[in-house]
Structure 1
Amino acid sequence: MARYTGPKSKIARKFREPIFGPDKALERKNYPPGMHGVSKRRGKQSEYAVQLQEKQKAKYTYGVLERQFANLFDKAASKEGITGENLLKFLEARLDNAVYRLGIAPTRAGARQLVGHKHITVNGQVVNIPSYSVRPGDIIAVRERSKTLEAVTNSVAGRKQNKYSWLEWDANELTGKFLNYPNRDEIPENIKEQLIVELYSK
């Protein structure tokens, strides 16, 4: 299963956002990495650089590699509606992201691991592909024998009230339902999707 395995704090500092979850290094050093630190004057970025950075931010946030991301963009462009919003909807519908949003795992990386290790089912069937696209009406659940996993119980115990209107959660059964694709204003990620569309339009 291909995934990003490089330094996470450095990436978070580059974008000045906790892309991979809470990060003490980012809190201590809220400026880009590099030998010159905060004192280095950085030249104005080109339009292309700004667009590319936004695409990289989206890729790191959702844990998607280049080819997967390009395929998702093509799918979003061919669907009716606003391409950028379609792209974010498809990213939100990834199984690993849905598991994370439901609170079964505290991070997307943790959710990806749970899926990959066959702890998650969709409509009663084990699915171990993190990029699997869930559809409205799909039931996402923790596998029966995995419900006592410490990683799952700790994450669920720290779960707050359901924050996402497109997901339904049953705490007793450890199951969630993907109700519908979210609207753009419901997705909390700070991503300027129009810049990504402009990049791919070149």
Structure 2
Amino acid sequence: MSRYRGPRLRVVRRLGDLPGLTRKSARKAYPPGQHGQGRKKKSEYAIRLEEKQKLRFNYGVTERQLLRYVKKARKAGGSTGQVILQQLEMRLDNTIFRMGLGPTIPAARQLVNHGHITVNGRVVDIASYQCRPGDVIAVRDRAASRTLAEANLEFPGLANLPSHLEFDKNKLEGKVNGTIEREWVALNVNELLVVEYYSRKA
């Protein structure tokens, strides 16, 4: 399944607030579609599927990519759900978004894909690059890149910078100081249900 490029508010109405997907909020509080206002009880499978879909749409990953993250997390040891969240949060496109250089994760991904971002002095155009503690992330030193970044910084997607990141607005440069802690994950998701969803599928 390819990356979603359809109406974003439709997804927000179905799954709830997705800070990485869009800054807009839905005016209607019920899901879209003809039967959106019905009170049909959700099955356990539907609840787990929704939690999984939250991760997919918020972080902009395909089903295949998410499955790969789940398999890596199982091998890593510790809490599988938290490791999945850490891997998604430490992606370069999400890190750029959390620094305020992109209003949404898709916008941050575009910055990366178009070669506006450097990691440790080298241009990295792979949005799924896993940031590590010690990585220095900066806007490329050219007029077009700096203009884009400065315009995005006027209206950042999320106000608070997570504790594992630092960012200098004047230099347009940031640093990864560690791995993100669970409390700093902005998305309201139950990662245990995501793990359960994939354990039943496997």
In the alignment, which of 178, 183, 191 is matched to residue 193 of structure 1? Answer: 191
Deviations along 1:18-58, one digit per CA (max 9) or x if unpaired, are 4422225x0x21210012443x232x111111111100111
Deviations along 1:122-160, one digit per CA (max 9) or x if unpaired, are 1111111111111111011100014432x3212223458
Partners of 2:35 and 2:197 in 1: CA distance: 29
In the alignment, which of 56, 71, 74 is matched to residue 77 of structure 1? Answer: 74
In the alignment, which of 89, 94, 108 is matched to residue 92 of structure 1? Answer: 89
Q: Do the aligned partners of 2:134 and 2:177 also contact (CA within 8 Å) in 1?
A: yes
Deviations along 1:47-104, one digit per CA (max 9) or x if unpaired, are 1111111001111010110111011111111112100000000000000000000001
Could you tell me which residue of structure 1 aligns to residue 164 of structure 2? 166
Q: Which runs of 5+ in 2 are unaligned?
A: none
Could you tell me which residue of structure 2 aligns to residue 176 of structure 1? 174
Q: Do the aligned partners of 1:162 and 1:168 also contact (CA within 8 Å) in 2?
A: no
Distance 1:36 1:50, change over 3 A: closer
Partners of 1:152 and 1:98 in 2: CA distance: 14
Distance 1:185 1:162, change over 3 A: closer
Partners of 2:111 and 2:161 in 1: CA distance: 21
Could you tell me which residue of structure 2 aligns to residue 102 of structure 1? 99
- Of structures 1 and 2, the one with the larger relative CO (CA 8 A, separation 6+) is 2
Decide which moves more: 157-166 or 57-66.
157-166
Q: Do the aligned partners of 1:16 and 1:32 also contact (CA within 8 Å) in 2?
A: no
Q: Which residue type is aligned with residue 173 of structure 1?
A: K
Could you tell me which residue of structure 2 aligns to residue 5 of structure 1? 5
Q: Which residue type is aligned with residue 52 of structure 1?
A: L
The two structures have a TM-score, normalised by structure 1, of: 0.91
Q: How does 1:120-135 map to 2 (within 5 A)?
A: 120-135=117-132
* 3-state secondary structure, aligned to 2:78: coil
Matched residue pairs, number? 196
Q: Which runs of 5+ in 1 are unaligned?
A: none
